[in-house]
């Protein structure tokens, strides 16, 4: 039973480019969460999605960031026109149900903006 898969593991973008981060949840999990971790800081919640629905995006910046979790395929976190401040580790987690204390995290995508 594969865990949460994130790719790419490392992503380098120049300022102004787009970054697309992918997350495949654990088998049987229909709830996906995205977190961002800046250097020397804790994990910050960004968005919570269930298949085809955004449930909570209170932690998502209002501009340039979007997320989706289609009926088929992985969840995508998309960052348009990246800036240096977007450089961070982005973690995806999944769970089988809402309000579950056990989130299963992937290994993250390290985004570096040049």
Token pair 């085809």 is at which residue?
52
- What values do phi and psi take at 84, rounded to 5? -60, -35
CB of 39 to other proteins, least distance (A): 12
Which of 42/85 has CB closer to other proteins?
42
CB of 67 to other proteins, least distance (A): 13
Q: Is the peptide bond before 114 cis (omega within 30 degrees of 0)?
A: no
Complex with other proteins: residue 4 or 111, whichever CB lies closer: 4
Interacting residues toward other proteins by CB under 8 A: 4, 33, 35, 41-45, 48, 55-56, 89, 91-93, 98-108, 110
Q: Which of 112, 108, 102 is nearest to 46 (CA)?
A: 108
The residue (of 17 and 61) whose beta carbon lies closer to other proteins is: 61
Cβ atoms of 34 and 46 closer than 8 Å: yes
């Amino acid at each position: 039973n594969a865990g949460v898969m994130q790719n790419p593991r490392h992503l380098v973008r120049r300022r102004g480019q787009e970054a697309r981060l992918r997350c495949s949840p654990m088998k049987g999990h229909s709830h996906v969460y995205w977190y961002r971790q800046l250097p020397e800081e804790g994990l910050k919640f960004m968005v919570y999605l269930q298949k085809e629905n955004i449930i909570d995006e209170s932690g998502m910046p209002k501009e340039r960031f979007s997320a989706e979790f289609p009926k088929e395929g992985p969840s995508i976190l998309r960052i348009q026109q990246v800036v240096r401040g977007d450089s961070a580790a982005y973690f995806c987690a999944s769970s089988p149900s809402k309000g579950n204390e056990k989130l299963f995290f992937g290994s993250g995508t390290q985004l570096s903006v040049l």
